[in-house]
A = this chain, B = another copy of it.
Amino acid sequence: MTVTIIGIGLIGGSLGITLKESGFATRIIGVDARPENLHKAIRRRLIDEEMSLPEGVAAADVIILATPVDAMLRLLPELLDRVGGKQTVLDVGSTKELLLDAIDEHPNRGRFVACHPMAGTEFSGPEAAVPKLFAGKTCVVIDGERSDLDALDTARRLFTSARMSFSYLGRKEHDLHCAYVSHISHIASFALALTVLEKERDEQRIFELASSGFGSTVRLAKSSPDMWVPIFRQNRDHVLDVLDELIEQLAKFRTQLIKRDFDGFYERIEKANQIEKILK
C-alpha cells in the first residue's frame, strides 16, 4: 500500500518508520508545510519521498492526517473533497468533537476513520520519531459506525500492524476521557514547572535536588505549545471541568495543611494510592 502522511512530526514520523517496518506500507509519501521537516524526514528515512498535498493525496491508498489539531480542522474537509471511493483517510488527533462535527454532512464522510493512537512522548518533530512508539498501546477509534466498513478495516489493519489494540468511543466521550487522562496531566505539569521556575532562581540547585520524582512529574512540561494549545482550544470545556476539580483537590490539601488535619491528609493519600490498582 502507498501511505501518505500529512504532518511529519513525532506521530507522523513514527508511523512512517513503523508502517514500513511492519510491511503495511510499501511506499511512504510525506507532506508537510515546513520543508525542513521533510528534509529531516527523508534524511532519517521516515518517508520515501515528499509531495505537495494534492499530489500526495492522489497517489495514496491511505492518507494519515498527523498535523496539530487546528490544522486538521482546516485540512480534513479538503482531503475528503479530493478522495475517491477506494481511498481511506484517518487522523491521529487528540480531540474529536469539533473535527467530526465539521464533516458530519460531507458526502465522503464514510471514507474517514477518526483514530487516536494513545502514544507519545514529551518531544516533538521528526527528530523525535521512533519505531516502537505504538507497540502494546491502545488506539481509540471514534464514531467508527460512521465510517465505511472497508475504510474501518484498513485503519484497523494499519494500527494492528503497529501492534496496537483497540477501544471504541463516541466523540464527546473520547474528548472527556482525554481531558482526564491526558490533557489535565499536561496542565498540571506545566503549572508545576512554572511554580518551580518562578520561585527557584537558582537553577543549579533545582538540578541538583531534583530527584527522579520531580523529573517524572514535570516531564510533560517539555511538551510543545504548537501541539497543545490547539488541543486545549478545541477541548476547552471538558478541560475546564477537570481543571476545576484538580484545583479543588489541591485546595482541600491546602485547607488540611492550614488546619493541621493530618489524619484527613493521610486518608486522602490512601485514597490516591488506589490509582496503583488501575495503572501498571
Question: Shortest distance in angstroms between A124's beta carbon and chain B's nearest beta carbon?
Answer: 11
A2 within 8 A of B: no
Q: Contact partner of A120 among B211, B225, B265, CB < 8 A?
A: B211
Answer yes or no: A228 CB below 8 A from chain B CBs.
Answer: yes
A80 to chain B, nearest CB (A): 27
Asked if A87 is at the interface (CB within 8 A of a chain B CB), the reply is no
Please determine whether B195 and A245 come into contact, CB atoms closer than 8 angstroms.
Answer: yes
Query: A209's contact among B118, B208, B211, by CB below 8 Å, is which?
Result: B118
Q: Are B195 and A275 in contact (CB under 8 A)?
A: no
In the assembled complex, which residues on chain B have CB atoms less than 8 Å from the CB atom of A181?
Answer: 196, 200, 206, 209-211, 214
Q: Are B270 and A206 in contact (CB under 8 A)?
A: no
Among residues of B, the one whose C-beta sits closest to the C-beta of A222 is: B276
A110 nearest CB across to chain B (Å) = 26
CB–CB A240/B221 < 8 A? no
Please give, as numbers and ranges, the residues of chain B lying within 8 Å of A198 by CB-CB distance.
245, 249
Contact code string A263-280 (vs B, CB < 8 Å = 1, else 0):
001101111111111111
Q: Tell me if B240 and A250 are in contact (CB < 8 A).
A: no
Min CB distance A84 to B, Å, is 34
Taking CB atoms, residues of chain B closer than 8 Å to A257 are: 232, 236, 239-240, 243
Asked if A199 lies at the interface with its beta carbon under 8 angstroms from chain B, I say yes
Q: Known contacts being A193-B272, A273-B221, is A242 close to B199, with CB within 8 Å?
A: yes
Known: A180-B199, A194-B268, A270-B225. A211 touches B137 (CB 8 A): yes
Query: How many residues on the A side are at the interface (Cβ–Cβ under 8 A)?
Result: 90
In-complex Cβ contact of A225 among B200, B208, B213, B266 (8 A): B266
Decide yes or no: A250 and B243 within 8 Å by CB, A178-B209, A279-B207 being known contacts. Answer: yes
Interface residues of A in 161-196 (CB under 8 A from B): 167, 177-178, 180-182, 184-196
Could you give, for residues 244-258 of chain A, a 1 whenever the CB lies within 8 Å of some chain B CB and a 0 otherwise? 111101110110011
The docked-state distance in angstroms from the alpha carbon of A280 to that of B271 is 32
Q: Which residue of B lies closest to A250 (CB)?
A: B191
Min CB–CB distance A79 → chain B (angstroms): 25
Which residue of chain B has its CB nearest to the CB of A202?
A: B177
**Residues on the B chain within 8 Å of A119, using CB:** 211-212
Task: With both chains docked as a complex, state the minimum distance between the C-beta of A95 and any C-beta of chain B, in angstroms.
Answer: 13
Give min CB distance, A197 to chain B, whole Å: 6
- Find residues 30-75 in chain A having any chain B CB closer than 8 Å to their own CB: none
Q: Identify the closest chain B residue to A276 (Cβ).
A: B222
**16 examples of A-B residue contacts, CB within 8 angstroms:** A120-B212, A138-B208, A177-B205, A193-B275, A194-B268, A197-B272, A197-B274, A198-B245, A207-B279, A214-B279, A225-B266, A232-B257, A236-B260, A240-B257, A240-B258, A247-B251
